[in-house]
Each structure stands twice: as C-alpha cells, then as structure tokens.
C-alpha cells in the first residue's frame, strides 16, 4: 500500500480533543498557509500556538511505517513516545511514529493514532 490510514489528534491542556486530522496521502507537509509560499497539506494556522509553526514546518511521510521529519523549522519538532514522561530532543533526522506517540510542532501538540 502507498500508506496506512492514520490520524493526528489535537491535544490541549493535557487532554485529547475530538479534533483530528486524517493522514490521507503518503507525504504531507505540516505548516501554515502563507500567501508567498502557498498552501500546505496540513495547515495548522488556526490552531492555538500556531504562531510557533513555520510555513513549512515538518513532513509526515510513509515508508513502510509513518515517519516525521523537521523541514528546518524555527521552533522544532519533538516526540514523546507513548508511556514516556518527556519529549525527545529536537529532531535532527526522520523519526518513526508509533501509535500513541505525541508530536509537538513548536507549541502545537498532536497524538499520532494508526488505523
């Protein structure tokens, strides 16, 4: 398959919300729309904390497993593995995503859910 169905669920104040973003392509740019750079597949412009999101912040892509990579964002991408207390250091290379992992794009937190 080109990719496995998955979604990102917004987390606010430490709790999952009922807002989610389906991952519907094998390669998706996360960022915010800007008139000079154009649209992105996952536009976080409306999310609280979006002022910390770069125009082209990160990319989610599927290579047998879902992975995330930082596209040179100002405020970084961080992962907190399911069951762990703390976030990883800022990503410097692509990281595999597992069900339940939390991803922080700058200050916007989402939880990766497969299936």
Place of tokens 């008139």: 35
71-111 confidence digits (pLDDT tens)? 999 999 999 999 999 999 999 999 999 999 999 999 999 99
Over residues 34-56, mean pLDDT: 93
For 6-114, CATH gives: 2.60.200.20
Chain position carrying tokens 């339940």: 100
Kind of pairing, strands 66-70 and 56-62? antiparallel
19, 38 contact by CB (below 8 A):
no
List the domain boundaries for the chain.
6-114
């Amino acid at each position: 398959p080109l990719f496995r169905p998955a979604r990102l669920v917004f987390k606010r104040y430490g709790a999952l919300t009922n807002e989610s973003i389906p991952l519907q392509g094998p390669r998706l740019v996360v960022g915010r729309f800007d008139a000079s750079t154009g649209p992105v597949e996952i536009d976080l412009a409306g999310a609280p904390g979006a002022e910390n999101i770069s125009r082209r912040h990160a990319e989610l892509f599927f290579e047998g497993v879902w992975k995330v990579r930082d596209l040179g964002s100002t405020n970084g991408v961080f992962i907190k593995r399911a069951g762990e207390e703390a976030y990883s250091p800022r990503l410097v290379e692509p990281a595999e995503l597992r069900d339940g992992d939390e991803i922080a794009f700058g200050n916007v937190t989402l939880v990766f859910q497969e299936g």
